[in-house]
Amino acid sequence: MNEKKAILLGAGGHANVVGEIALLVGFEVIGFIDPNTPQNMEGLFGWRCLGDDTVLNQYNPKEVILINGIGSLPKDKRIRETVFQHGREMGFQFATLVHPKSVVSSYATLGEGVQVMAGAMINPYSQIGENTVVNTGAVVEHDSQIGRHCHIAPRAVLCGNAITEEHVHIGAGSTVIQNITIRKNAVIGAGCAVTRNIEPDVVVYPARPWVKS
C-alpha cells in the first residue's frame, strides 16, 4: 500500500487507464486536475476536479505525488513532457505505475513517472527512461534501453538490445529487431518492421503494396 496521496493530472482516456492502475496498486487519489472540467465536478472513478494546475500551489510536494494522465501521440507528445517538467519544477515527484497484470523483471530499471500497462512485458536488464509509457501488451526484451519521454504503443515489440533515445514514438503493433538504435524524436508508424537503425527526427511508415486505380 502506498503512503502518499496522489493527484491525477488530466481527465482523458489515458487518465482513465492510469487512474485505474493507481487504484489497483493502492494509491489514495484525492482528485484530478483538468482546466476543462468545472471545479468540484465529479469525474473519473468518482473523484472530484480540483481545478486547473494552479491549485497545485495549495499542496505540499512532500505529502502528495502526481500521476501524469496526459497521453502521448506523435503530433502532441511534448505536452506530456511539459506537464512532467512543470510538476518537477514545483518540487513534486511523479508516480511510477506498474499494472498488476504486467510482467516486469526485478532486474529491469524503471525511471520516475514510467507507466507500464496491462499485459506489457519488460525483461531483465532493460532500462526505461523517466515519463515513458509502455502501453498495453507491449514487449521490451532483455538489455534494451528506452529513453525519456518515449511511448511504446500497444502490442509493439522491441527485441533484445534495442535502443531508443528520448522522445521516440513506437507505433502500435510495430516490431524493432535486436540491436537496433532509434535516435531522438523519431516516429515509427503502426505496424512497422524496423530492421535498420533510424536517424533523429525521421518518420517511418510500414511498406504499402501498390494498388491499381
Does residue 49 lie in a domain region?
Answer: yes
User: Do 140 and 124 contact (CB within 8 A), yes or no?
Assistant: no
Regarding whether 187 and 167 lie in a shared domain, the answer is: yes
Closest CA to 168 of 202, 196, 138, 139: 202
Does residue 207 lie in a domain region?
Answer: no
β 187-188/169-170 pair status: parallel
Give me the domain span that covers residue 106: 96-199
User: Number of structural domains, the chain?
Assistant: 2
Regarding whether 179 and 112 lie in a shared domain, the answer is: yes
Regarding whether 68 and 10 lie in a shared domain, the answer is: yes
Among 95, 117, 150, identify where a domain stops. 95
CA distance 52 to 38: 9
What tens digit of pLDDT does each residue of 131-181 get? Answer: 999 999 999 999 999 999 999 999 999 999 999 999 999 999 999 999 999
DSSP calls for 167-182: T-EE-TT-EE-TT-EE
Calculate the average pLDDT of the chain.
Answer: 93
pLDDT at 213: 44
User: Do 122 and 142 contact (CB within 8 A), yes or no?
Assistant: no
Does residue 71 lie in a domain region?
Answer: yes
Element (H, E) at 19: helix 13-24
Statement: the pTM of the whole predicted model exceeds 0.85: yes
